[in-house]
Structure 1
Amino acid sequence: MEEEKYKPYWLIITLTMQIILYTILFTRGMNNNTLSYNILTDIGLVSASLILIINIIFWLYSFISILLKDFKKDINKITWLIAIIFVPFCWIFYLDAERIIIKKKKVDKNENLNDKVINIK
């Protein structure tokens, strides 16, 4: 079976989304052509909140996914856990690499269904 290649879909999506939100945050808060920003502006506060909420949701999904799924190599689970905890935004790479590093469960189509039937006498 041919190995799946790494395709950075999540990386592109999340980085684009965050660039847009950060741009809104910094441009809406600029006053009189200065580089200082006021995070308490209405759109600035909303975009900062969105950035934080989205990052937390994806980080939690990645963390739980690492804990629950079986990896092709056991060391990968430990490596990804350490990376997710200590390296900011590493979850973006995990979302893309997840398809490649997780074992796919094989479904046995020839499984005898009679083994699962309970005989009541």
Structure 2
Amino acid sequence: MNKKERIKIHGKLQSSLRKNSPDVTYSNIMNSGYIDIKEKYKPKFLIFQIILSFILVALLFYFELFIFVIIFVLNYIVTWIYSFVSILKNNFKNKNNKLFWFTLIFFIPFSAFVYPDFKRIQTIKN
């Protein structure tokens, strides 16, 4: 057995790629150009939807009225339709994001509450 095989068997073979690869840090990732985020994510719409949902559910349990269920469902349906139409209508900075959001909202409908907040930073402003 030669020296290279012994080092490889014991796991001590070092690749030249590992020696020259850059460190994976937050600043390297953000400055790499792969991620183009100029605006920070601020979940204003999501927080509004969560608070509204909690209020409606609390009123439902307190008053035991069916009207609050109808309001909750209508709120959800309107948000889902708005997100769906917005995805189809807007142009995204990355074309794959349009397909991503379309599939996400279609298969995981509650993601429609998150989309309006991300829309500001992922769509092209006209």
TM-score w.r.t. structure 2 length? 0.68
Letter in 2 for 1:47: F
- Give ranges in structure 1 of 5+ residues lacking alignment: 30-43, 106-121
- Give ranges in structure 2 of 5+ residues lacking alignment: 1-36
Larger helix fraction of residues: 2
Aligned counterpart for 1:11 among listed residues 29, 34, 46:
46
Number of residue pairs aligned between Structure 1 and Structure 2: 90
Alpha-carbon RMSD across the aligned residues, in angstroms, is 1.2
- Alignment deviations for residues 90-120 of structure 1 (CA, whole Å, 9 cap, x no partner): 0111011010000112xxxxxxxxxxxxxxx
What is aligned with 1:69? 90
What is aligned with 2:29? none
Alpha-carbon separation, structure 2, partners of 1:91 and 1:78: 14
Q: Deviation above 4 Å: which 4+ runs of structure 1?
A: none
Aligned counterpart for 1:23 among listed residues 58, 64, 68:
58
1:99 and 2:123 equivalent? Answer: no
- Alignment deviations for residues 37-87 of structure 1 (CA, whole Å, 9 cap, x no partner): xxxxxxx21100100111101110100000010000010000000111111
What is aligned with 1:50? 71
Asked if structure 1 preserves the Cα contact closer than 8 Å seen for 2:92 and 2:123, the reply is yes
**Percent identity between the two aligned chains:** 37
Letter in 1 for 2:58: T
